[in-house]
Structure 1
Amino acid sequence: MTEQRRSDRRRKKPRKRLWLRISLFVILILVLGVGAFAFSVYSNAKQTVNEKIHEEISSIDSKVAKEKISEQKPLNILLLGVDKRPGDGGRSDAIMVLSLDPKNNKMNLISIPRDTRTLIVGKGYKDKINHAYAYGGVDMSVATVENLLNIELDYYVEMNMQGLTEMVDAVGGITVDNPLDWYDEGYYKEGYHYKKGEIHLNGPQAMGYVRMRHLDPNGDFGRTKRQRQVIQAIIDKGASIASVGKIDDMIDVLGDNMKTNMDFEDMKNLLFNYKDVRKNVNSYMMTGNGTKISGVYYLLVPDEEVAKVHDMLTK
């Protein structure tokens, strides 16, 4: 079998966690940046957020978080991309910390690799960090990330991976400038030719666009660039006047796929008090060394890397 065919077969398998990394960031940006969300359909948005999306957890004191928002203090938000299946509690295949600093108008988005080996708070032993969600849901994930990075988390946002494709479709599709030319046999049994240049993508096609890696000469770097393209395209499309009529659909997607301890008032305050943090966005992924322990792959993140990320989130 040729290397091309092997690559084609590998591309048939959905790489869900890649999409998860994108979906969480998109939702937070929409909350921060789309004014129409809070005004044009105020009643529907308030009801959806407070009745379907809002969910408190014991590991975060929301009263303290509300005080921080009202005083426009820096915030740390845990973003979890979760793949839930029937009969399965799910696993967080994407873990990020979003820091918002309104005083300096900057935002940091830190990705924590899912295979990072760390102490699972509540279990008392080390394991892959994404197992914390499987063991104890959002509460254990919050406690474990706080312990790893020595930070305090103010909010969490949990997003089911299905929300990404639905969000792209909800805004009426997106347009990107594709730097490569390739053919994907399709995520939903629908092939698509990704022509070089400007192309329009629906939800499933956007999934294929961000998950391709083996045909990209830049590997993960090229894939990451395409992820940023899709994020920006969704933000631009969602914030445009042309999407005002689609706001109800976007809210429905959030209601079906998102959980957070933010209530509607929190989101409104973020919209007004933290809107300028998007002026300076820094994205970073924690690095380490891969190894196998008892036959299981882990990423070992050195102390100096942890300290670097801690400083990025707190200074």
Structure 2
Amino acid sequence: MKRPVKKVLIWSSAVIAAILVLSGGYVWYMYHSVEKTAAQMYEPPVKPVYISRDPQVKSKKKTNPEQAVVLDNREPFNVLVLGVDQRPNDRGRSDTMIVLTVNPAKKSILMFNIPRDSRTEIIGHGTVDKINHAYAFGGVEMSLQTVENFLDYPIDYYIKVNMEGFARLIDLIGGVKVDNPFAFYYSGHEFKQGKLSLSGSEALLYSRMRYEDPKGDHGRNARQRAILQEVMKSAMNISNVTRIHDLLGEVGDSVKTDITFEEMKTFVMDYRPAIGRIDTVEIEGSGKMINGIWYYIVSDAERTRIHNMIKDHLTTANRT
């Protein structure tokens, strides 16, 4: 005996409705979980807005932790990425300092390292020292203030990453591919010349070696940027909410940032499709021993050059 068509349709509709409800509930759960993880990562510093010595440069930074940066019409912004080696009962030091300037109108990101041994005034500490010591003295806040003074440019956002967490992130995206310019050994691992596929722990070692590099810190910085570029390319290709949830859930305890969840959504939806290339630049300088300590000396002219590059890349009608 055939079942009535009407009952079959009702039953089918009920199943479809249940699937839709369950699917909707799952999507909501994943979205909510991502939002919760983003909230755990959110940790804004309490600091005054930097006023540039260049009258044409104006800050659009938050004036308090509750005020969001306005991102109308895909406005350009910049980010300081701090790679931090944290130790038990010790804040550690910023092993890596990378500035990213993002301008969707120019469809590009400008990326550069600040050499960790750069000699500069440590803002808020009253000393002249290596720039990476700012984090040891005063955490993210002192690092931001020191970098802003060094570049004479306000920083809109920061992202602080524990280096071990960065290694886990690389493993989660399936590793990174690099083109190694020369063979070397570091910390018991061999890195052959040519194209390599690296796991997270290997990428961390690859990015840290500098004493065997004929280019010294410049070579180390170039390897760090190459790895970060690969990670960013992989991240920009991720659109699946489940994948984003997994990634954030795994590294959420290793990342702190003053980028809110709403701002993250804006970057993913409005900014990511517009970015077509990543350009890199090197801060030039020279080594010098001062009182028995080796420093990287960046001239005022070079700092002005970098300042102008940031300014030119971020220039819009609203920004300057």
2:296 to 288, 295, 299: 299
Preserved CA contact (<8 Å) 1:76 1:100? yes
Preserved CA contact (<8 Å) 2:166 2:251? no
Preserved CA contact (<8 Å) 1:121 1:144? yes
| Structure-2 change in CA distance of 1:281 and 1:195 (3 Å) | closer
Equivalent position of 1:13 in the other structure = none
Equivalent position of 2:36 in the other structure = 47
Structure 2 CA distance for aligned equivalents of residues 280 and 166 of structure 1: 25
Preserved CA contact (<8 Å) 1:53 1:254? no
Matches within 5 A, 1:151-300: 151-175=153-177, 186=188, 200-211=197-208, 227=224, 230-238=227-235, 246-276=243-273, 278-300=275-297
Preserved CA contact (<8 Å) 1:90 1:134? yes
| Structure-2 change in CA distance of 1:148 and 1:223 (3 Å) | closer
Structure 1 CA distance for aligned equivalents of residues 216 and 195 of structure 2: 21
Give the TM-score of the pair, scaled to structure 1. 0.73
Matches within 5 A, 1:51-70: 52-59=40-47, 61-62=61-62, 66-70=68-72
Structure 2, unpaired ranges of 5+: 1-26, 50-60, 313-320
Matched to 1:271, the amino acid is V
3-state DSSP of counterpart to 2:105: coil
Matches within 5 A, 1:38-117: 41-50=30-39, 52-59=40-47, 61-62=61-62, 66-117=68-119
Structure 2 CA distance for aligned equivalents of residues 153 and 218 of structure 1: 28
Structure 2 CA distance for aligned equivalents of residues 241 and 124 of structure 1: 44
The alpha-carbon deviation at position 214 of structure 1 amounts to 7.4
Structure 1, unpaired ranges of 5+: 1-37
More helix by share: 1
* Per-residue deviation, residues 5-51 of structure 1 (Å, max 9, x unmatched): xxxxxxxxxxxxxxxxxxxxxxxxxxxxxxxxx9994222111011x
Give the TM-score of the pair, scaled to structure 2. 0.72
Preserved CA contact (<8 Å) 1:113 1:285? no
The alpha-carbon deviation at position 217 of structure 1 amounts to 7.8
Structure 1 CA distance for aligned equivalents of residues 35 and 133 of structure 2: 33
The alpha-carbon deviation at position 236 of structure 1 amounts to 5.0
Preserved CA contact (<8 Å) 2:77 2:156? yes
3-state DSSP of counterpart to 2:124: coil
Structure 1 CA distance for aligned equivalents of residues 180 and 240 of structure 2: 23
| Structure-2 change in CA distance of 1:104 and 1:40 (3 Å) | farther
Preserved CA contact (<8 Å) 2:112 2:225? no
The alpha-carbon deviation at position 80 of structure 1 amounts to 0.9
Preserved CA contact (<8 Å) 1:176 1:229? yes
Matched to 1:44, the amino acid is S
Structure 2 CA distance for aligned equivalents of residues 71 and 222 of structure 1: 37
Does the alignment pair 1:118 with 2:120? yes
3-state DSSP of counterpart to 1:309: helix
The alpha-carbon deviation at position 269 of structure 1 amounts to 1.3
The alpha-carbon deviation at position 166 of structure 1 amounts to 0.4
The alpha-carbon deviation at position 83 of structure 1 amounts to 0.7
Preserved CA contact (<8 Å) 1:171 1:243? no
* Per-residue deviation, residues 249-278 of structure 1 (Å, max 9, x unmatched): 311233111111111001111223322553
Identity of aligned residues (%): 38
Equivalent position of 2:130 in the other structure = 128
2:143 to 141, 144, 163: 141
RMSD: 3.3
Instruction: Give the paired residue count.
Output: 272
Structure 2 CA distance for aligned equivalents of residues 76 and 104 of structure 1: 14
* Per-residue deviation, residues 197-247 of structure 1 (Å, max 9, x unmatched): 665432223334444567778877776665555445444555557987644
